[in-house]
A = this chain, B = another copy of it.
Amino acid sequence: MMGMAAVARRGPQPPGDDKTTMLVRKIPDGSVIDHIAAGKALSVLRLLGNPQEHGFTIAMVMNVSSSKMGKKDIVKVEGMEISQEQVQKLALIAPRASVNIVRSYRVMAKKNAVPPRTLRGILSCTAPTCVSVREKDSAPSIFFISGRAPLRYRCKYCGRELDEKEISSQLG
């Protein structure tokens, strides 16, 4: 159902034909989010409020090779500067992501997604016996960061640790 698997590149050089390539113009103003974990680009778009549904021009690639990460996604949103609050949330679903703010075709600012030390009311503990699960009203969710690469958070109450995969699936 999925068709061919990826094949090795063959001998002939690519011709200059615009049906087989896609050149994305440099954006005059906007944000470039690089080093998103492969496959998470759509979660990033959702986190940004689905700008494509509001008319923003978007360019993205998914599952492209990365020396840093093996595979990655990249999202570019024209005419939108991502806020610090959005960058913080981004840190949770794309911990290795870097955000470049572009103005007049130049990179004006770089924001690295830095996961917060404490998360309140964002994550859900996966230990069924944890007090934050059994008595949600008296014990609201609190998690402390316990690892950055890879990203890990530890429940304040019971010590259960959530890994990147669990965090992404809760937020994504």
Contact = CB atoms under 8 A, between A and B. Distances in A.
Interface of A: 1-7, 9-10, 12-15, 17, 19-29, 32, 34, 39, 41-42, 49, 51-64, 71, 74, 76, 78-83, 100, 102, 104-107
A interface, over-half SS: loop
A59 B56 contact: no
A59 B60 CA distance: 6
Contact of A39 (B24, B53, B83): B53
A15 B61 contact: no
Contacts of A105: 12-15, 17, 20
- Quick one: copies of this chain in the complex? 2
Looking at A32, A49, A53, A57, which has the most chain B CB atoms within 10 Å of its CB? Answer: A57
Contacts of A79: 3-7
A63 B74 contact: no
A56 B2 contact: yes
A78 B14 contact: no
A51 B14 contact: no
A123 to B, nearest CB: 23
Contact of A49 (B1, B22, B25, B78): B1
A117 B80 CA distance: 42
A6 B78 contact: yes
B24 A22 contact: yes
Contact of A82 (B3, B27, B34, B100): B3
